[in-house]
Amino acid sequence: MEASVLYNVPHDIPWKVFIPLYFYFTGLSAGSFILSTLSTVFGIKRFKPMALPAAIISFLLLLLAPACLIVDLQQPTRFWHTLVPEYFNPTSALSYGSWLLTLYPIANLIYIYFIYVKNDRVTKIIGTMTVPLAIFVHAYTGFAFALVRARAWWHSALMPGFFLTSALLSGIALLVLVAMIMDRLRSEKLELDLYKSLRIMMIGILLTDLFWTGSFWLTLLVSNSDGHASILLALHETFYLWGEIFAGMLIPLAILVYPRTGNNKIWLSFASVLIICGVFLMRYSVVFIGFDIPLS
């Protein structure tokens, strides 16, 4: 039977655009850090020239990310409460996250120092210890959503994985742009093999992201009424369907897969820009489509 709401009290969305921006910056940071460790820890020599710039970008983004979080607080001067051991909440992803966000930039800075002084042995040790930190820093943001059972759009075991892969994707795309700029500025050119392997990595991760997205759609379509409503609502959103999925995933994938455009530097950087914007839209849609379903 049809029922219409006469009156009700909806509460405001507690978050502003700083929250998706924060996820985006930590994602970019973790992604570029992992790319930096490819040569220093995993010993893939081809990525050697990228190690230092990637690590520096990762550190700079890490200064921006917590700033976004603190700006979004209603009581910004109390941010240090999250680091008081007595207040630590073992069931809260945010509690772990605030510690990770404190430890990771410090480890990152030490790592940058040892790359800078070209001490390969110590760099490898520090890098090996920092890689799990980088992964956890980003995975925890996925858990912050996955552990909210109230909202069907967030409550999914795929969330941490999706966040990690898209973090890596945005990190690689940013590094492609940085490599282009380095090529322009420096006298010694980067080898073309580097671009090729970055391109293949981007294709692989884009396909993984599309797989995650498809899994989300299918499971939500046959989920409970909240889940079903959120996927139908998401497919109506222009920024989700046309922005994130079409412009942020399918078009870059087509550009990268097609050899003539994939090997062209201008097309490659265009695809990277699209990917970087698409990953931001992914963060944005995860956060705000979750709030579209009224709960009261």
Partner 1 sequence: MSETETKHSTSIRDTSLNVQKVDLKPKRWGMIVDQRRCIGCHSCTVACKSENNVPLGYWRSWVKGIQKGDFPKAGNMFLRRLCNQCDSPPCVQVCPVQATVRRPEDGVVIMYYGKCIGCGMCIAACPYDARFFNPIRNTADKCDFCASRIDNGLEPACVEACVSKALIFGDVDDPNSEIFDILATVPTSVIKPELGTKPKVFYIQADHSLKGRIQFSEDFKEAIIDYRKSIPSPDATYWETRDQK
Among the residue ranges 42-50, 71-79, 179-187, 244-252, the one whose residues contact partner 1 (CB under 8 A): 71-79
From 71, 106, 232, 257, residue interacting with partner 1 (rule: CB under 8 A): 232
Count of all residues that appear for the chain in the document: 296
Among the residue ranges 103-111, 131-139, 198-206, 228-236, the one whose residues contact partner 1 (CB under 8 A): 228-236
3-state secondary structure 132-175: HHHHHHHHHHHHHHHCCCCCCCCCCCCHHHHHHHHHHHHHHHHH
Q: Distance of alpha carbon 186 from its chain centroid, rounded?
A: 29
Q: For residue 204, how many other CB atoms are within 10 A of its CB?
A: 13
CA 32/CA 106 separation, integer angstroms: 16
From 107, 148, 180, 241, residue interacting with partner 1 (rule: CB under 8 A): 148
| By the rule CB under 8 A, 11 interacts with partner 1 | yes
From 45, 84, 193, 222, residue interacting with partner 1 (rule: CB under 8 A): 84
**Closest approach of partner 1 to the CB of residue 177, in Å:** 32
Burial class (CB in 10 A: 0-12, 13-18, 19+), 49: middle
Can you tell me which residue has the tokens 């695809």? Answer: 271
From 144, 173, 220, 289, residue interacting with partner 1 (rule: CB under 8 A): 144
**Closest approach of partner 1 to the CB of residue 80, in Å:** 9
From 6, 117, 222, 266, residue interacting with partner 1 (rule: CB under 8 A): 6
Among the residue ranges 46-54, 80-88, 189-197, 254-262, the one whose residues contact partner 1 (CB under 8 A): 80-88
Residues 233 to 252: which contact partner 1 by CB under 8 A?
A: 233, 236
**With respect to partner 1, which residue has the nearer C-beta, 7 or 266?**
7
**With respect to partner 1, which residue has the nearer C-beta, 103 or 177?**
103
**Closest approach of partner 1 to the CB of residue 241, in Å:** 12
Residues 257 to 296: which contact partner 1 by CB under 8 A?
A: 290-296
CA 239/CA 211 separation, integer angstroms: 19
Can you tell me which residue has the tokens 């995650």? Answer: 212
Phi and psi for 261 in degrees, rounded to 5? Answer: -80, -35
From 138, 151, 199, 283, residue interacting with partner 1 (rule: CB under 8 A): 151
CA 58/CA 43 separation, integer angstroms: 19
DSSP assignment of 216-237, as one string? Answer: HHHHHHTS-HHHHHHHHHHHH-
Name the site residues for partner 1 (rule: CB under 8 A): 1-12, 14-15, 69, 72-75, 78-79, 81-82, 84, 87-89, 91-95, 97-98, 144, 147-151, 224-226, 228-229, 232-233, 236, 290-296
